[in-house]
Amino acid sequence: ATSQEAADSIGTSLGSIVKSLCFLVNGEPVVVLASGDQRVDDRKLAALRSVGRKKVKIASAEATIEETGYAPGGVPPVGHIQQLPIYIDQTLSRFELVYAAAGSPTAIFPIPYQTLVNIAGGEVVDIAKV
């Protein structure tokens, strides 16, 4: 259910794990695909959405389910119940192959980084906290 547990279970580095995180930005849902070894910088996310930092909140479990159709820890990078803005952490590009949740906290799948970018239809951005 955690990025570290996922990495340990398949013997890969923490950074190659894709964390699919749901945020509410000014009340609107946004999905961030972040590298497992990075933290999302709420200031950078706020700037991307042209709002103040206080308008950025990590979605609750209930809100994540409502907006994506999946519980936290199992949110896949695609296949949400509605079209959502997606931002892809540029630090994921360090890896040719990444691993993302497959709809359950106990299921992950490998996917080439570039394929992830192509199918997610998201914007690759600098969103990791320094």
Per-residue pLDDT reduced to its tens digit, 63-75: 999 999 999 999 9
pLDDT at 79 over 90: yes
pLDDT at 26 over 90: yes
Rounded CA-CA distance 83/8 in Å is 32
Where residue 1 falls among pLDDT bands split at 50, 70, 90? Answer: low
Between the two ends of the chain, the Cα-to-Cα distance in Å is 25
pLDDT at 89 over 80: yes
Kindly report the pTM of this predicted structure: 0.96
Let me know: does 75 contact 101? Beta carbons within 8 Å.
yes
Rounded CA-CA distance 77/50 in Å is 23
Rounded CA-CA distance 127/130 in Å is 9
pLDDT at 2 over 90: no
What Rg do the C-alpha atoms of the chain give, in angstroms?
A: 13
pLDDT at 41 over 90: yes
Let me know: does 39 contact 14? Beta carbons within 8 Å.
no
Rounded CA-CA distance 55/129 in Å is 17
Q: Mind listing the pLDDT tens digit for each residue in 3-15?
A: 999 999 999 999 9
